[in-house]
Structure formats: C-alpha cells, structure tokens
Amino acid sequence: MLALMAPGASAAIIDWQAELQRCRAVRESAAPLLLAGEGISAVGRSNRSVRRCIWIQRMAVRRKIPGAEAW
C-alpha cells in the first residue's frame, strides 16, 4: 500500500520560488489588460496560466511562503 502512495506524493511537490517567479512574469503580461479595466476574474477566465497563478499565489500566501503576494 505504501509503495502505491509514494509516486503520487512526489507529484504534488511544488517548487514555490520557481512558480512565484513564473507568476510574476504572467502578471506582467496580464498588466495591460488589468490597466485597461478588465477584472482579474475576466482575465483568469480567458487564460489557464493566469488561473493557475492565482491559485499558486493564494496557496503561497496561505502557507506564508517568502515572496508570496496577493493578486
């Protein structure tokens, strides 16, 4: 039973600093849309990577990861 759980456990490990860095780049690319008056929910619905970054940011803030900031 333990052998079956081990592969799944390693798949859930997140490199928080790399994800946060990627999300900063995504945020910079979404900034013109946000400045144009589009809400983050509208931008998120149109872009899967933005939705993932919103989730990553929320989890990082909740877990108090250094460098995490709310959108």
68 within 8 A of 61, measured Cβ to Cβ: yes
CA distance 35 to 54: 17
pLDDT of 25 strictly over 60: yes
For 52, the token pair is: 């993932």
pLDDT at 68: 83
**Residue 46 or residue 23, greater confidence:** 23
φ, ψ of residue 14 in degrees (nearest 5): -115, 130
Question: What average pLDDT does the segment 31-58 reach?
Answer: 76
Question: What average pLDDT does the segment 33-47 reach?
Answer: 68
Question: What average pLDDT does the segment 31-53 reach?
Answer: 73
CA distance 35 to 31: 6
Q: pLDDT-based confidence at 33, cuts 50/70/90?
A: confident
44 within 8 A of 37, measured Cβ to Cβ: no
